[in-house]
């Protein structure tokens, strides 16, 4: 039985025009074809059209070839290309993501990604869990976690928890650790529970802008119901969305990543950090904290406040940090990526941590503990490497 | 060619199931509903046939919570007409597949339908799948567990799956009712922007279901959660204790 080929609305003049009109089109025209983007891309060697080659295809009017290849799904939206581009072209946001959007519109979506997008649409979380159970991670723990609506109408701080920190069994440990920290610091905070939806940023960077807008609007409706001064989150993707992208939809709230929020309270926090940590810690800069938002020092300052800590740097550090592989939809393309590359960036990263002499890999993004812990299981020389969120290390150092 | 796809919403097991006070059915207020997965395949199969140049696709469904979204999503995929069967589907004993098949037949008789694609089954089919009684009311042949359809000159070439991996190819004279097990391709993803655009242009028609005639189906006397069997033994303790006790039990029963 023959399978009909999809009609291909992807290659259209509007798309060409959108890539070539100002402001971003003008920048795309300034491409020098130096190839730095393609060289620095962790998966550039697997892509048929890494960023520079994609621009060459655009100039040669053979962009249909780009859209007939599925290797743009290897892009993990890690900002490495954007960071090195000497012409300052917003490659991640405006080229790679736009190509994904066109593929999505043409119905060319890897099956794994489709499931994640459908889950986000149906349940408001990418893991396909019950929205009613969003705050269940806080049940039965000693630390108090007030709910907006049920316990409070207003609070100083709205803690936006996010999908993975709410539902993923490993990442829930980070949430519980932060609950202990916030209580110890007497922070007046509350969470949204079932009113919260996924931030949508990685869905956006996987080409699903409509879904991103839908989730952002739902979150805005929840934010509007309560009074608070600022939003904090452990999730750099949520931070990036609320700080940089929600305002383009008219949704503006002050937001800080938890490492910024805690670093500001270091004087209050430091005397309570009494349990020394033995061994060396390597800090992994998450793409959406580091390259996308220039936050490099606060997480390191927090780690340095823990007694006994010796920080070591990996070969890819700060602006050159190596993505865990989870961004831009990578969290939901594990099988697809393996099929194309037969390797994982998270495995390269734990090797780097070991090579730097680290016994603990510290992270600051909810995608990372599960990804790096899985990598530790498959990389022999990384056996024994511990992976912890900065928040977990602080909470552990605080306990008697 | 008119292709009619009857779809329905079923309980979403992501939420706990709650039995209502009558003890004979799920509490409709506690339910989250989602489109029956096999119906999603029936929609996909219909759209694939349409894309091969054959037919107008008409989606029809009982009017329950969440159905508008399901219908608009089908339209965004390429369905041409959307119809809601209005009636008291949530009344106690209000709906079963016998009642649904009668209402669907009344509606489908108003069309010149040549192909009716239903999902082959649904998790809430307490009284059998909807396809066979629907075919009976319409006086049409029925083939279930279909995983491929080609239409040619008033007939359909069908692939039907049998248990044990056997596949039959058969020919059916149209009009006919087919129970779709799987579309030729997995149901497609439709971006939210497309669904939203469709919501602005597509219309949902209404067809009154009138009286819901439920006779012919078995009556549910009691609905209950699985109960702990007295034969089950829970072994307490740490992994070593449990493993040691398991080995003992295997030896006692002569397995080892």
- Structural domains present in chain B: 2-208 (3.40.50.620)
Q: Is A129 within 8 Å of chain B by CB? A: yes
pLDDT along chain A (400 residues), means of 10: 38 72 86 97 97 92 88 97 96 95 91 96 97 96 96 97 98 98 97 98 97 98 98 98 98 98 97 93 98 98 97 97 97 96 97 98 98 97 97 90
Look at the domain A13-105 and name its fold. Answer: Fumarate Reductase Iron-sulfur Protein; Chain B, domain 2 (1.10.1060)
- Indicate where chain A has its CATH 3.40.50.1860 domain(s): 111-264
Residue A135 contacts B where some CB pair is shorter than 8 Å: no
How far away is chain B from the Cα of A399, in angstroms, using its nearest Cα? 27
Q: Chain A within 8 Å of B109 (Cβ-Cβ)?
A: no
Considering only CA atoms, which of A266, A217, A273, A221 is closest in space to residue A245?
A217
The boundaries of every CATH 1.10.1060.10 domain in chain A are 13-105
State residue A7's pLDDT score: 41
Chain A residues close to B189, C-beta within 8 Å: 104, 107, 109, 114, 117-118
Report the residue from A4, A118, A130 with minimal CB separation from B52: A4
Query: Cβ–Cβ of B148/A1 closer than 8 Å?
Result: yes
Distance (Å, whole) CA B114 – CA B243 = 61
CB pairs under 8 A between A and B: 46
Kindly list the residues from chain B whose CB atom is less than 8 angstroms away from the CB atom of residue A3.
Answer: 48, 184-185
Whole-number Cα distances in Å, A263 to A155, A257, A352: 20, 10, 26
A152 vs A187: CA distance, rounded Å? 14
Query: In what order do the strands lie in the sheet containing B204-208?
Result: B167-173, B155-161, B142-152, B176-180, B113-119, B2-6, B56-62, B81-86, B204-208
pLDDT given at position A360: 98
Q: How far is A211 from chain B (nearest CA, A)?
A: 6
The CATH code of domain A269-398 reads 3.40.50
Contact check, Cβ <8 Å, B191/A4 = no
For residue A133, give the chain B residue with the closest CA.
B15
B165-195 pLDDT, tens digit each: 899 999 999 999 999 999 999 999 999 999 9
Which tokens belong to B2? 């008119």
Tokens at residue B184, please? 């030729």
Backbone angles phi, psi at A129, to 5 degrees: -95, 165
What sign does the CA torsion over A105, A125, B203, B54 have?
A: positive
Q: Using the structure block, give the residue that is written with the tokens 């670093």.
A: A263
Q: Touching check for A213 and chain B: CB below 8 Å?
A: yes
Residues A219, A222, A227, A233, CA torsion sign: negative
Q: How far from the centroid of its chain's Cα atoms is residue A222's Cα?
A: 22
**How high is the mean pLDDT of chain B?**
93
Which overall architecture, per CATH, does domain A111-264 show? 3-Layer(aba) Sandwich (3.40)
Q: Convert B99-123 to b/e letters by CB count within 10 Å (16 or more is b).
A: bbbbbbbebbeeeebbbbbbbbbbe
Residues in a beta bridge with B10: B34
- Check if A122 contacts B (Cβ < 8 Å): yes
Out of A109, A122, A129, the one facing B34 most closely (by C-beta) is: A122
Q: Inform me whether the pLDDT recorded for B229 exceeds 80.
A: no
What is the structure's pLDDT at A400? 61
Tell me the two tokens of residue A287: 């793409």
* DSSP-derived secondary structure letter, B130: S
Interface with B, mutate which of A2, A15, A122, A136 (most B CBs under 10 A): A122
> Mutating which of B73, B151, B193 best tests the A interface, going by the most A Cβ atoms within 10 A?
B193
In the block, residue with structure tokens 């489908």: B108
């Amino acid at each position: 039985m023959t399978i009909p080929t999809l009609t291909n609305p992807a290659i259209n003049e509007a798309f060409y025009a959108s890539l070539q009109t100002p402001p971003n089109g003008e920048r795309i025209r300034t491409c020098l074809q130096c190839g730095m983007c393609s060289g620095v891309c962790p998966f550039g060697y697997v892509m048929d059209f890494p960023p520079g080659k994609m621009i060459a295809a655009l100039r040669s009017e053979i962009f249909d070839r780009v859209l007939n290849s599925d290797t743009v799904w290897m892009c993990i939206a890690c900002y490495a290309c954007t960071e090195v581009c000497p012409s300052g072209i917003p490659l991640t946001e405006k080229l790679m993501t736009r190509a994904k959007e066109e593929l999505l519109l043409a119905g060319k979506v890897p099956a794994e990604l489709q499931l994640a997008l459908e889950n986000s649409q149906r349940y408001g979380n990418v893991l396909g869990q019950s929205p009613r159970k969003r705050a269940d991670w806080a049940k039965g723990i000693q630390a108090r976690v007030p709910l907006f609506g049920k316990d409070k109408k207003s609070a100083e701080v709205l803690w936006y928890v996010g999908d993975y920190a709410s539902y993923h069994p490993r990442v829930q440990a980070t949430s519980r650790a932060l609950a202990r920290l916030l209580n110890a610091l007497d922070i007046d905070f509350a969470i949204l529970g079932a009113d919260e939806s996924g931030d949508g940023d990685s869905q956006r960077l996987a080409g699903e802008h409509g879904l991103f807008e839908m989730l952002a609007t739902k979150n805005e409706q929840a934010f509007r119901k309560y009074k608070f001064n600022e939003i904090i989150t452990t999730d750099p993707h949520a931070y990036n969305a609320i700080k940089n992208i929600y305002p383009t939809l008219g949704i503006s709230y002050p937001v800080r990543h938890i490492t910024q929020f805690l670093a500001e309270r270091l004087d209050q926090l430091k005397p309570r950090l009494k349990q020394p940590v033995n061994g060396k810690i390597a800090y992994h800069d998450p793409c959406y904290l580091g390259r996308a938002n220039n936050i490099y020092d606060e997480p390191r300052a927090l780690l340095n406040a823990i007694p006994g800590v010796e920080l070591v740097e990996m070969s890819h550090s700060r602006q050159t940090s190596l993505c865990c592989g989870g961004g831009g939809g990578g969290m939901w393309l594990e099988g697809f990526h393996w099929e194309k590359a037969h390797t994982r960036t998270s495995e390269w990263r734990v090797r780097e941590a070991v090579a730097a002499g680290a016994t603990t890999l510290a992270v600051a993004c909810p995608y990372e503990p599960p990804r790096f812990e899985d990598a530790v299981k498959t990389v022999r020389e990384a056996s024994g490497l511990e992976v912890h969120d900065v928040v977990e290390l602080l909470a552990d150092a605080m306990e008697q | 060619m008119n292709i009619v796809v009857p779809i329905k919403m079923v309980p979403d097991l992501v939420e706990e199931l709650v039995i209502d006070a009558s003890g004979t059915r799920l509490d409709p207020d506690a339910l989250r509903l989602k489109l029956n997965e096999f119906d999603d395949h029936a929609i996909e199969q219909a759209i694939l046939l349409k894309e091969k140049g054959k037919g107008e696709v008409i989606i029809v469904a009982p009017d329950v919570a969440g159905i508008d979204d399901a219908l608009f999503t089908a339209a965004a995929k390429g369905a041409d007409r959307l119809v809601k069967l209005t009636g008291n589907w949530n009344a106690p004993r209000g709906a079963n597949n016998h009642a649904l098949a009668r209402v669907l037949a009344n509606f489908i008789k108003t069309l010149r339908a040549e192909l009716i694609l239903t999902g082959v089954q649904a998790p809430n089919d307490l009284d059998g799948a909807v396809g066979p009684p629907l075919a009976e009311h319409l006086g049409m042949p029925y083939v279930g567990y279909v995983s491929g359809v080609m239409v040619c000159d008033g007939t359909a070439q069908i692939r039907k799956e049998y248990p044990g991996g056997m596949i039959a190819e058969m020919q059916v004279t149209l009009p006919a009712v087919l129970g779709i097990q799987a579309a030729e391709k997995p149901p497609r993803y439709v971006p939210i922007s497309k669904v939203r655009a469709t919501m602005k242009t597509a219309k949902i028609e209404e067809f009154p279901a009138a009286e819901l005639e439920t006779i012919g189906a078995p009556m549910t006397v009691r609905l209950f959660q699985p109960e702990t069997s007295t034969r089950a033994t829970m072994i307490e303790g740490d992994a070593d204790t449990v493993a040691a006790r398991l080995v003992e039990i295997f030896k006692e029963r002569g397995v080892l």
